[in-house]
Amino acid sequence: MIGRRHFLAGLGAVAVVGFNPRSRTWISVAEAAPFDRIPPLDGVLRMDPASLSAAAVDVGNIVHNTPIAVLEPGSVEDIQKMIRYCRRHGIKVGPRGMAHTTFGQSQVEAGLSIETKTLNTIHSVTSTSADVDAGVTWKDLLTQIVPMGLTPPALTGFTGLSFGGTLSVGGISANFGNGAQVDYVRELDIVTGEGEFRHCSAHENKDLFEVVLAGLGQCGIITRAVVELIPAKPMVRAYTFTYTDNATFFRDFRTLINREELDELYNFGIPNGSGGFMYQLNAAKYFDPSHPPDTATLFRGLSVDPAAGQFQDVPYLDYLLRIDSLVDFFRTQGLWDGVLHPWFDIFLPERTVEQYVGEVTPTLTFDDVGAAGFLLLFAKKRENFTRPFLRIPETEKWFYLFDILTANSVAGPDPAFQARMIARNNRLFEKARRMGATRYPIGVVEFSQLDWILQYGREWPVFLSRKRQFDPDGILTPGPGIFDGFR
């Protein structure tokens, strides 16, 4: 017989309390300590290395924050249970849609990543609305509703994005007369940072509704949304006109947006092959085949001859999915997955947009966009933007989304290129902010606490107080780093 004290001493003073016959190992005091069981789930909680490293990737390929577990929820209750669980243990939680933001916004270091894509039911469609889970993509909805003659009023260029993800950032379309996707949301289901389920709208739980729309996941996880739909025309006439001069381009662009006769208008800035960029003005008019658009009338009185424009008539759904097809093509060429995408995205006011674009574009080289990148400019009508947490310049009738959609020319890490592009973005953002711009926080700019406070301006105190109200322990969505300095 050996006494317990002698037995422990024989094991090198490790406090052993038992034996696990399955693994045939001794159990130490630490291992046998009472633990908090994971609640029963409808979905799956993954901890394997492949799932963890997959959750540490986004389209930017710059930030890689690895979670300690990945939840594939089988129900909204799973999200509630796991948020309560994480809250008890001070574990951060990051909702992740399609991870198409570019600077770690959807990632969570040493926390729980919630993959919303497993919540992907389109619950119902009427002639004026769609009721969808947060993990549904806009593309999923479009393929169902466009054949029914319906469309959302605002769509991003690429549509393989989740409802939860775009409604958390804003969702800006090339359709210059309308608001953002967040402006066409009627109802939301949300799980707060306390694990509470809330149904909300402009009339019910309004504070939560407002702060979650374009609220970067700070106050709740969107689990379901009811969004507006409108009738869709079956065809689109898509025009392109080429410009070489900034002032001429802006003069014509402004003439066209102020006439409000077209449906979409945007600029693609593309390397011109001799070290500079050309402006490719893209315009779209939706139409019924019985009433095709009159090109000469639409483009009258511009500095370019209407006949100089090229156009194509395309079925509406094909037109909406054209950037999805482009991304698929980049993928097949090895120009998408694993490629660094240090994107730069800002909102500029009318009064400075021409000067800013005119000064910045000539400083850019081919490297600044790459083979699979381009510059983008959308005009937007201010009065249709109604959500306070989508931070846009507050003056004038029009404001603009300007993007430098940089793609490195090869896949894989490239620390020198990455550092150069982040420094470029920081510098260009400083210049833009001095000219009245705000950041569209889908891209890559290093932001300090002060930068976030400036970004939210007079909404900052409201944002902070709602964060404290709906996520009192500050566990939700650390990716953007907005409240790092506040508890």
Ligand X SMILES: Cc1cc2nc3c(=O)[nH]c(=O)nc-3n(C[C@H](O)[C@H](O)[C@H](O)COP(=O)(O)OP(=O)(O)OC[C@H]3O[C@@H](n4cnc5c(N)ncnc54)[C@H](O)[C@@H]3O)c2cc1C
96: tokens are: 């992740």
436: tokens are: 């009245």
Provide the minimum distance between the beta carbon of 221 and ligand X in the complex, in angstroms, as a whole number. 4
Compare residues 125 and 323 and give the one whose CB is closer to ligand X: 323
User: Which residues contact residue 355 at a Cβ distance below 8 angstroms, ignoring those fewer than 6 apart?
Assistant: 435
153: tokens are: 């009023």
Q: How far apart are CA 237 and CA 33, in angstroms?
A: 68
Considering only 73, 153, 157, 195, the residue that binds ligand X (CB under 6 A) is: 157
Q: How far apart are CA 444 and CA 217, in angstroms?
A: 18
Q: For residue 173, report the phi and psi dihedrals to the nearest 5 degrees.
A: -110, 165
Confirm or reject binding of residue 179 to ligand X (CB under 6 A). Answer: no
Compare residues 115 and 252 and give the one whose CB is closer to ligand X: 115
Q: How far apart are CA 290 and CA 277, in angstroms?
A: 38
Confirm or reject binding of residue 478 to ligand X (CB under 6 A). Answer: no
Compare residues 302 and 437 and give the one whose CB is closer to ligand X: 437
Q: DSSP letter at 60?
A: T
Confirm or reject binding of residue 479 to ligand X (CB under 6 A). Answer: yes
Compare residues 222 and 346 and give the one whose CB is closer to ligand X: 222
Considering only 67, 97, 195, 370, the residue that binds ligand X (CB under 6 A) is: 97
Name 85's bridge partners: none
Confirm or reject binding of residue 113 to ligand X (CB under 6 A). Answer: no
Compare residues 105 and 205 and give the one whose CB is closer to ligand X: 105
Minimal CA–CA distance to 379: which of 167, 155, 156, 177? 177
363: tokens are: 């400083």
Confirm or reject binding of residue 216 to ligand X (CB under 6 A). Answer: yes
Considering only 79, 86, 91, 99, the residue that binds ligand X (CB under 6 A) is: 99
Confirm or reject binding of residue 172 to ligand X (CB under 6 A). Answer: yes
Considering only 168, 205, 267, 406, the residue that binds ligand X (CB under 6 A) is: 168
Could you tell me which stretch among 214-222, 231-239, 295-303, 461-469 binds ligand X (CB under 6 A)?
214-222
Considering only 162, 192, 267, 425, the residue that binds ligand X (CB under 6 A) is: 162
Compare residues 169 and 238 and give the one whose CB is closer to ligand X: 169
First to last CA, the chain: 56
Compare residues 119 and 302 and give the one whose CB is closer to ligand X: 119
Compare residues 169 and 235 and give the one whose CB is closer to ligand X: 169
Confirm or reject binding of residue 94 to ligand X (CB under 6 A). Answer: yes
Considering only 171, 269, 373, 474, the residue that binds ligand X (CB under 6 A) is: 171
Q: Which amino acid is at 161?
A: L
Q: How far apart are CA 290 and CA 293, in angstroms?
A: 10
Q: Which of residues 367-426 bind ligand X (CB under 6 A)?
A: none
Confirm or reject binding of residue 281 to ligand X (CB under 6 A). Answer: no
DSSP 184-216: GEEEEEEEETTS-EEEEESSSSHHHHHHHTTST
Confirm or reject binding of residue 116 to ligand X (CB under 6 A). Answer: yes
Q: Which amino acid is at 196?
A: E
Q: Which of residues 309-368 bind ligand X (CB under 6 A)?
A: 323, 327
Provide the minimum distance between the beta carbon of 93 and ligand X in the complex, in angstroms, as a whole number. 9
Confirm or reject binding of residue 192 to ligand X (CB under 6 A). Answer: no
Neighbour tally for 28: CB within 10 Å: 14
Place of tokens 């260009």: 428
Confirm or reject binding of residue 474 to ligand X (CB under 6 A). Answer: no
How many residues bind ligand X (CB under 6 A)? The answer is: 36
Q: What angle do CA 130, 134, 139 make, to 5 degrees?
A: 65
How do 185-192 and 374-381 pair as beta strands? unpaired
Q: DSSP letter at 335?
A: S
Q: Which of residues 33-72 bind ligand X (CB under 6 A)?
A: 59
Q: Which of residues 129-148 bind ligand X (CB under 6 A)?
A: 134
Q: For residue 106, report the phi and psi dihedrals to the nearest 5 degrees.
A: -100, 5
Which residue ranges make up the site for ligand X (CB under 6 A)?
A: 59, 94-101, 105-106, 116, 134, 156-158, 161-162, 164-166, 168-172, 216-217, 221-222, 323, 327, 442, 477, 479-480
